[in-house]
């Protein structure tokens, strides 16, 4: 018996398909796909969510001092003349940052191996590059998805059969996060 479904694709196509579906499932919460793809996708997504649940609180908050350029009302950097040269004026600011433990950093990198970058385009500014923003899916895993499943031992996804697809009668399913 095979260890995985080949899905009638070469290995690079299959990996790309499953990475894309895993990214979209965790970004949107549900996707429609075939039953074979959903069962194979479950094997990728469930361990990622379990990893996020395991490492969700494994960080420490550190206060650091950072130098930030002072800006005027128009958003441009303030410059002052020192010894005949223009130099930017900097202010020191206290910031609190999350410092990951080594195991959480490893989990973050394992997730980044699977996820594709996601760019969110608002409906109002569609077609404008300035209106887009990049979504940090790994941060979403730790901050939104992991706390939701904190007291659950597995079974993070649900597969609901919809019916046969019109063209080839493949069984279509709705795969969603529980």
Gap between the Cα atoms of 80 and 90, Å rounded = 11
Gap between the Cα atoms of 138 and 136, Å rounded = 6
Q: If pLDDT is split at 50, 70 and 90, which confidence band does 123 have?
A: confident
Which of 23-27, 97-101, 127-131, 147-151 bottoms out in mean pLDDT, i.e. has the lowest?
A: 127-131
Gap between the Cα atoms of 73 and 93, Å rounded = 19
Paired residues of 30 in beta bridges: 176
55 burial type by CB count under 10 A (0-12 exposed, 13-18 middle, 19+ buried) = buried
Q: Single out the residue of 159, 151, 150 nearest to residue 178, CA to CA.
A: 159
Hey, what are 2's tokens? 């095979």
pLDDT, tens digit (0-9, with 9 covering 90-100), for 140-174: 999 999 999 999 999 999 999 999 999 999 999 99
Q: Are strands 30-34 and 59-69 parallel, antiparallel or unpaired?
A: unpaired
pTM confidence score:
0.84
Percent of the chain with pLDDT over 70: 98
For the four alpha carbons of 98, 101, 148 and 21, in that order, the dihedral sign comes to positive
Q: What residue spans define the domains of the chain?
A: 11-58+102-177, 59-100
Identify the architecture of domain 11-58+102-177 in CATH. Alpha-Beta Complex (3.90)
């Amino acid at each position: 018996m095979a260890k995985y479904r080949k899905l009638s694709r070469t290995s690079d196509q299959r990996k790309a398909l499953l990475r894309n579906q895993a990214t979209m499932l965790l970004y949107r919460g549900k996707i429609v796909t075939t039953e074979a793809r959903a069962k194979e996708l479950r094997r990728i997504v469930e361990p990622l969510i379990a990893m996020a649940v395991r490492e969700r609180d494994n960080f420490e908050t550190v206060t650091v001092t950072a130098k930030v350029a002072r800006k005027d009302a128009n958003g441009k950097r303030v410059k002052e003349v020192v010894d005949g040269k223009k130099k930017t004026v900097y202010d020191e600011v206290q910031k609190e940052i999350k410092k990951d433990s080594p195991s959480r950093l490893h989990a973050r990198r394992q997730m980044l191996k699977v996820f594709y970058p996601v760019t969110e385009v608002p409906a109002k500014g569609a077609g404008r590059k300035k209106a887009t923003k990049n979504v940090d899916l790994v941060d979403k895993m730790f901050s939104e998805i992991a706390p939701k499943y904190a007291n659950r031992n597995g079974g993070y996804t649900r597969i609901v059969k919809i019916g046969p697809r019109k063209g080839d009668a493949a069984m279509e399913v709705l795969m969603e996060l529980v």
